[in-house]
């Protein structure tokens, strides 16, 4: 499992910019032009790199409604092609994968093919009620698949992931300790209730008390002006929505100026000497 120091060495500054892919083949909103999806993804990757993020993460964000677990082979194939293009364009930036809603094995398969640094797993342990129905964690299968594939990718696991509710309520600290101690998560991600919704700093503080040595990331609702609220406990930020600019008649695209302002705020927050370091 990663230490906080290992995460800091991997991702500097500790900002993971998210690329929300346009609909992939087979998705309800698929437009029949993979080249256009690739072009948009590369433009977003360039904007993230130019703006100064520490890592990038690829998501099949616009494939909704999502499969609750296994995605079709066409999704894995398209993700592999696009991830390969991004890795070749920006080989020095760590790349992560999140295969929605919860296909960790597909994410690992792409990771081993392209040399990705990490995957994100929305429900790694336990069970959640979601808009896809009941989604159950498969940490036992994911860790064994990672071992058998020989892929060194880290696992960033969500704790009470957005757009979901735990099947049975338990103390947050206990859930966090199981995610790390029994699910062997390399890092833990805390979000708000939905995409773009701010996380709760009090919950973040509670998780930090439960996991003093674990990389802890905030995964939704982030802006340059609210990073200081989380800085005493967080090791990093996963940001997507804030970085985008609207485009009339098209999907949003990442704005390099917003990336630069966010990265600068992250560096400034770190330089203030928060007690987590």
Q: Which of 134, 208, 210, 145 is nearest to 178 (CA)?
A: 210
| pLDDT digits 0-9 by tens, 198-212 | 999 999 999 999 999
In a domain, 261, yes or no: yes
- What average pLDDT does the segment 23-34 reach? 97
Best CA proximity match to 252, nearest among 43, 32, 28, 30: 43
Give 196's pLDDT tier (boundaries 50, 70, 90).
Answer: confident
Please say whether the beta carbons of 208 and 216 come within 8 A. Answer: yes
Whole-number pLDDT of residue 276: 46
The pLDDT value recorded for residue 271 is 65
> Looking at residue 109, which CATH number applies to its domain?
3.20.20.70
pLDDT in tens, 42-86: 999 999 999 999 999 999 999 999 999 999 999 999 999 999 999
The answer to whether residue 26 is domain-embedded is yes
**Residue 274 clears pLDDT 90, i.e. is over it:** no
The answer to whether residue 277 sits within a structural domain is: no
CB atoms within 10 A of CB 73: 11
For 98-146, write each residue's pLDDT tens digit.
999 999 999 999 999 999 999 999 999 999 999 999 999 999 999 999 9
| Rounded-to-integer distance, Cα 32 and Cα 25, Å | 7
Q: Give me the number of domains the chain comprises.
A: 1
Which range of residues forms the domain containing residue 184?
Answer: 4-271
In a domain, 198, yes or no: yes
């Amino acid at each position: 499992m990663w230490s906080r120091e290992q995460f800091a060495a991997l991702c500097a500054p500790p900002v993971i910019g998210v690329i929300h892919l346009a609909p992939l083949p087979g998705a309800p909103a698929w437009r029949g032009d993979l080249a256009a999806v690739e072009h948009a993804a590369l433009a977003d990757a360039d904007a993230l790199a130019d703006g100064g993020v520490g890592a990038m993460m690829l998501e099949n964000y616009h494939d909704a409604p999502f499969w609750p677990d296994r995605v079709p082979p066409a999704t894995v194939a398209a993700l592999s092609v696009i991830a390969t293009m991004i890795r070749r364009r920006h080989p020095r930036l760590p790349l992560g994968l999140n295969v929605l809603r919860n296909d960790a094995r597909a994410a690992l398969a792409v990771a081993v093919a392209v040399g990705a640094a990490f995957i994100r797993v929305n429900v790694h342990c336990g069970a959640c009620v979601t808009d896809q129905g009941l989604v159950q964690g498969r940490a036992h299968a994911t860790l064994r698949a990672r071992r058998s594939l020989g892929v060194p990718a880290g696992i960033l696991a969500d704790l009470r992931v957005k757009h979901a509710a735990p099947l049975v309520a338990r103390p947050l600290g206990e859930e966090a300790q199981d995610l790390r101690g029994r699910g062997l998560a390399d890092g833990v991600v805390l979000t708000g209730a939905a995409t773009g919704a701010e996380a709760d700093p009090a919950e973040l503080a509670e998780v930090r008390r439960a996991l003093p040595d674990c990389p802890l990331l905030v995964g939704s609702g982030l802006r340059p002006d609210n990073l200081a609220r989380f800085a005493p406990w967080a090791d990093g930020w996963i940001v997507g929505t804030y970085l985008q600019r609207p485009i009339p008649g098209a999907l949003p695209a990442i704005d390099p100026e917003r990336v630069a302002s966010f990265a600068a705020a992250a560096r400034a927050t770190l330089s203030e000497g928060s007690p987590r370091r």
